[in-house]
Amino acid sequence: MLHRLRRAQVLPHAVLVVGVLISMFPFYWSIVLATNTSRDVFRYPPRLLPGSHLVENVHHVLDNIDFFGSMLNTLIVAICTTALVLFFDSLAAFTFAKYDFPGRNVMFGLLMLIFMLPAQLSIIPQYLIMVKIGWVGTLQALVVPAAVNAFGIFWMRQYITRAFPDELLDAAKIDGAGFLRTYASVCLPMIRPGLAFLGIYTFIGSWNDYIWPLVVLNNPDKITLQVALAQLNLGAGGALTDYAMLMAGTLMAVTPLLIVFTLFARGFVADLAKGAVTG
Amino acid sequence: MTQHELAIAVAQPAEESPPRAGRRRLSSSAGRRRPAVLRYWPQYLAISPFYVLFAVFGLFPVLFSLYLSFHRWSGVGERKWVGLQQYRFLVKDHTFYLSLWNTLLIWGMSTLPMLFGALVLAAMLHSVARAKGLYRMAFFIPNVTSVVAMAILFRMLFSSNFGLINVVLHWLHLPTYAWTNTPWGIRISIASLMTWQWVGYNAIIYLAGLQTIPNHLYEAAQLDGAGPIRTFFSVTVPLLRPVILFTVVISTITGMQSFTEAQVMTGSNAAVNPNSGGPGQGGLTMVLYFYQQAFSYNDFGYGAAIAWGIFLIVGVFTVVNWRLVARKED
């Protein structure tokens, strides 16, 4: 293969391959640690190849935390949040993009202003609200505040403005379709790629969310994967720590999302970059 | 708000959709008599979920945190009005200044290598014809991986006793370092994690920027006899400048609010309080200090004051950055 590349291409590929190796190495190393015994972790020189103790380490993880329970919680939260965000954000975005109702620009300006507020300003009162309404330790405490967001509305509005021609709106009107009907049967089918992007984006964000679940989930039966992982890590402070078990837990927590990402996110990376550069 | 969201929002000034005379005519025949506000009730209903949720979980909390910052309160019992006392304490709080210092150090040590590495990777990516999509995907994977998981892994890589970094240093006959047991070591570990997670993302942003640079400029440089390095510094970097400056500002805003990396990496090292920032409190970032005061010590009044302090510092820092950037642009 190499002779077919022009000579000028050898150096860039060499640099890029080094970059890929650095990007991927931590994953390889977590596999190495998770498949060897915890005694091997301390061995010098260290083992550089995967071992055969994965199953035993996974068993230790399952003894220590309710891994599948917390994964189920994470899945429930991520799926509910994503579904709600897709519905509410696209509906609001469609309205902002295609209807010239009184006060539209003021409302949209307000939305952008809100978007710029940093999260830690509202965490304490949000927690106090959750205490007051008895949602501390429940999953709806994660889903409901995240059910609609300024970023998604902003992004979808840009998308719909470009992807959805005004003529279609007029055609729908002439056919006698009302607002909700137009949204559901004309707009939604047209913006599927945009929904896919926002969906993947929201799902990943929700799956990896940490500070808010850490604050609001105090019930050991109802924690998310990230919080469970942090607890596993916190419990691992002592001298006789089972580091192989800790790594197995880490590996188990990141693998599902990575599989989902590599399978479904072909255009996702390009979209994210395009959004950040072109206006 | 995450780095991605900020990047997209800053880069895309909201486009105004043009007023649509045609549709106006159509709808006015339907409800000529009704005032516009009533005629558009489905539209108002459609955008209302955001404003309702925001009022409850956004606006009220922000105002309430301002109110809380003038009180002493542990979440139970009476709230005690203390005026500006929390803020007076904040400006004299050595630990807060330490957390600011830590945050700035970690931000600097992660942002510089991250953006420089991203620039190099993007230039290389731009020049290859094959496998671009594959490289891009590989560089992006660290960014979608959970910070908690990767913080645990990086703590093990940097572990003073058995970490791979020290093993490799030993093999190379270089001095080893107590990364996880010293303030500087912990800062460098945190900065490394942030660099690793974000270098590929920034490279992809830069690549998208590079693709907007017209090819004939490169051809002209080549005709003038400029080598690849010369071309990189006199064509690529100047033309990419808006994108570079923009990533600097974005990294400032998000880097100044780092939390998870520090919280997890220092988490299991501190015997007394897991949120104290590790050895010498070297990993105590501003947001971690906020979290510690508010949720480890239940000092909601002081926590709220710290949150407003962070907000002000990040705001000032961003404006200063922006100004510096804008002046250099001329």
> pLDDT (tens digit, 9 = 90+) per residue, A15-35?
999 999 999 999 999 999 999
Q: Which of B24, B140, B307 sits opposite A121 (nearest CB)?
A: B307
What is d(CA B212, CA A276) in angstroms, rounded to the nearest whole number?
Answer: 13
A177 — contact with chain B (CB < 8 Å)? no
Contact across the interface for B146 and A125, Cβ inside 8 Å: no
With vertex at residue A22, the alpha carbon angle to CA B147 and CA A35, rounded to the nearest 5 degrees, is 70
What is the pLDDT tens value at each position of chain A, 279 positions in all?
Answer: 455 556 667 888 999 999 999 999 999 999 999 999 888 888 878 888 998 999 999 999 998 889 999 999 999 999 999 999 999 999 999 999 999 899 899 998 888 777 777 788 899 999 999 999 999 999 999 999 999 988 899 889 988 988 888 888 888 988 888 899 999 989 999 898 889 889 988 999 999 999 999 999 988 888 999 999 998 888 755 545 788 999 999 999 999 899 888 887 767 777 777 766 654
Give the one of A27, A101, A211 whose C-beta lies nearest to B40's C-beta: A101
Encoded tokens for B108: 């600097």
Cα A255–chain centre separation? 13
Indicate yes or no: CB of B207 within 8 angstroms of CB of A166: no
B17/A161 touch (CB, cutoff 8 Å), yes or no:
yes
Closest partner residue to B204 (CB to CB) among A115, A161, A273 is A273
- Residues B193, B155: contact at Cβ < 8 Å? no
Q: Where are the domains of chain B?
A: 88-329
Calculated CA dihedral for residues B261, B267, B272, B276, nearest 10 degrees: 0
Residues 206-265 of A with CB under 8 A from B: 207-208, 210-211, 215, 225-226, 229-230, 233-237, 243, 246-247, 250, 253-254, 257-258, 261-262, 265
The Cα-based distances of B54 to B48, B51, B98 in angstroms read 10, 5, 34
Nearest to B138 among A20, A234, A236 (CB): A20
Query: Running DSSP on this structure, what letter comes out for residue B71?
Result: E
State the best of B16, B50, B65 to mutate against chain A, taking most chain A CBs within 10 Å: B50
Q: Is A176 on the interface with B (CB under 8 A)?
A: no
The number of CA neighbours under 13 Å toward the Cβ of A110 is 14
**What is residue A148's three-state secondary structure?**
coil
Which pTM does this prediction carry? 0.89
Q: Does B290 touch chain A (CB under 8 A)?
A: yes
For residue A229 the two structure tokens come to 């992982």
Question: Which residues of B are less than 8 Å from A26 in CB distance?
Answer: 142, 150, 153-154, 157, 196
CB A186 within 8 A of CB A177: yes
Residue range A119-152, pLDDT digits in tens: 888 999 999 999 999 999 999 999 999 999 888 9
- Give chain B's residues under pLDDT 50: 17-31, 270, 330
Domain boundaries, chain A: 2-57, 66-237
Residue in A115, A161, A178 nearest the CB of B15: A161
> Which pLDDT does position A85 carry in this prediction?
97
Contact B256, B103 (CB under 8 A): yes
* Among chain B residues, CA nearest to A242: B156
Q: Which fold is adopted by the domain A66-237? A: MetI-like fold (1.10.3720)
Give B102-124 pLDDT, tens digit per residue: 999 999 999 999 999 999 999 89
For the four alpha carbons of A248, A250, A256 and A258, in that order, the dihedral sign comes to negative
H or E segment to which residue A77 belongs: helix A67-98
Q: Which residue has the tokens 């999302």?
A: A257
Q: How far apart are alpha carbons B159 and B185 in whole angstroms?
A: 10
* Chain A residues inside the 8 Å CB shell of B202: none
Residue A161 token pair: 């403005």
CB of B176 within 8 Å of a chain A CB? The answer is: no
Proportion of chain A above pLDDT 90, given as a percent: 54
Nearest CA-CA distance, residue A75 and chain B, Å: 14
Q: Inspect the interface and report whether the beta carbons of A23 and B142 lie closer than 8 Å.
A: yes
H or E element at residue A256: helix A243-264
3-state secondary structure of A164: coil
Q: Does A136 touch chain B (CB under 8 A)?
A: no
Domain B88-329 has CATH 1.10.3720.10: yes
